[in-house]
Chains A and B, each alone.
Chain A
Amino acid sequence: MAGTLSFAPDDRCNAFITTCDAAPYGDGKLSGVAVAVKDNISTCGIQTTCGSRILAGYVPPYDAHVVSLLRGEGAAIVGKTNMDEFGMGTTTETSGYGPTLNPVDQTRVPGGSSGGSAAAVAAGLVPMALGTDTGGSIRCPAAFCGIVGLKPTYGRVSRYGLVAYANSLEQIGPMARSVGEVSRLMEVISSYDSRDSTSFDRPYTHQPSADIESLRIGLPQEYFGEGVDPRVAETVRSAIGRLEDLGAETVPCAIPSMAYALAAYYVICTSEASSNLARFDGVRYGPPAPTQKQWHEAFQEVRGEHFGKEVRRRIMLGTFALSAGYYGKYYGKAQVARRNVRQDFERVLGEVDVIAGPTMPTVAFRLGEKSDPLSMYLSDILTVPANLAGVPAISVPCGTVDGLPVGLQLIGRHFAEEQIIDAAYAYEQEGSA
């Protein structure tokens, strides 16, 4: 049944940048289901800003592959969600359209960078949403808002039409209030796309099962050590204890490359950003560059004025890391570090089926709490390794500390979303009872 869905949410958390008050939908697996889409995913005819003032008013002339798939299965695209500018942040506070508030506690951030998607789902404005995850941007807000979020294996979901920030790390993924809904959305968005040369033909078609008898779960010491709030670690340990009650077996393990994974991540993502964001110059889209001025002067002006601080900082860090004389010290080393991270995960995941730990080292921060950029970067320590290794990871709610949600993170082998989804489903169905 095709039709039009009217959508007028009470958006007191500022989850949306753009809403569509009459959203068309069609037939299919998601017929008439309201789906919110993160604002860095291109939607034909609907403004797409990436949370940046430099793309205010930009209306894409084409759909991202995932959006075509959603429309093809009948979903109603009801709006574009708020995010850290170009995905650069862990709180959604760097958005050029004001911060999103956490629906669980409005004095707290929802996490980021897909904070709008997480808040829209957690507040019940939509049943499901798409986010993107470059270094934790789906899992962090899922954990902070108490919902489920999946970062798929690199290559399992097409990035065509995703406005690039750090191509080698980022993936589009599903967010919803239950594992079953995340699984349902994943089934729709995972499909081969020749327009993304990193796309794999490994569609996801899976019915979640709570049978985790003899599942081997690795517990890396680094995920429960220094820097992790002991109450968060305890909450996650007790959730893993429930998985043991359900028949899983736990094994201690180590990921020594965690010592430098975060540094490698920030070198790589800023380097890629410095190249990707060169296209925002006010010529083909965005606020117009003053054409009567000299080339560089005009670009510096439009980019200085419309990029926020964090975006400018990351472009500059990447420009520096790639510059002559520093390449070997930063980018070259970061690539070797990345290989080590990947090998650590492959080694551990050869011995166990899934790796478990907290998604975030703490519960949601207060608004304005992370004013120092490095302290914000450090909070990504438990999520970036999965992006460096390209493996899938899911965050599922597993309790609260001080009334704020805690996420259990489950990391799996390449293309083994089915296994982490089953483990998350088992916890959701049986463990939290």
Chain B
Amino acid sequence: MVSEIEIESIAKLADIDLARDEVAGFTREFNAILEYFDALDQVSGEETLTPELTNVFREDEPGGCLPQEDVLANAGSTEDGFVKAPRVM
């Protein structure tokens, strides 16, 4: 069981605002879903690598890329050819 306080903390970790009046509903639905996930308790065995699968790599060679104006076209805020992000400090 997770509490309303834990739900608010998960939302914060995920960078998601929850309205105060949504917390109780989210908590109730979350707990019902987690209870259903308990079906996984019957699964035994360890996580193992799948030997028939291999990673696919390519050579680190520069390829074509989009023009700067295309890349910035969808950004909400730009300055001097850069995207502008919120303050870090």
Contacts and interface: CB of A to CB of B under 8 A. Distances in A.
Interface stretch (A66-74, A133-141, A332-340): A332-340
Given A260-B39, A283-B86, A316-B10, 8 more contacts: A263-B37, A281-B15, A299-B86, A301-B17, A303-B15, A307-B16, A373-B33, A374-B29
B40 A296 contact: no
Interface stretch (A8-16, A174-182, A285-293, A401-409): A285-293
Contacts of A291: 77, 84-87
Tell me the interface secondary structure of chain B in the complex. loop
Given A304-B18, A315-B16, A316-B26, A333 B40 contact: yes
By size class, the interface of chain A is 35 or more
A339 B70 CA distance: 42
Interface string A35-68: 0000000000000000000000111011000000
Contact of A316 (B30, B42, B71): B30
Interface of A: 57-59, 61-62, 194, 197-198, 259-260, 262-264, 266-267, 274, 278, 281-301, 303-305, 307, 309, 312-313, 315-317, 319-321, 323, 329-330, 332-337, 339-340, 372-374, 377
B32 to A, nearest CB: 5
Contact of A260 (B10, B40, B75): B40
Interface of B: 2, 7, 10-19, 22, 26, 29-30, 32-33, 36-48, 50, 55-56, 58, 66, 70-71, 73-77, 83-88
Nearest to B67: A61
B43 A333 contact: yes
B16 A300 contact: yes
Tell me the interface secondary structure of chain A in the complex. helix
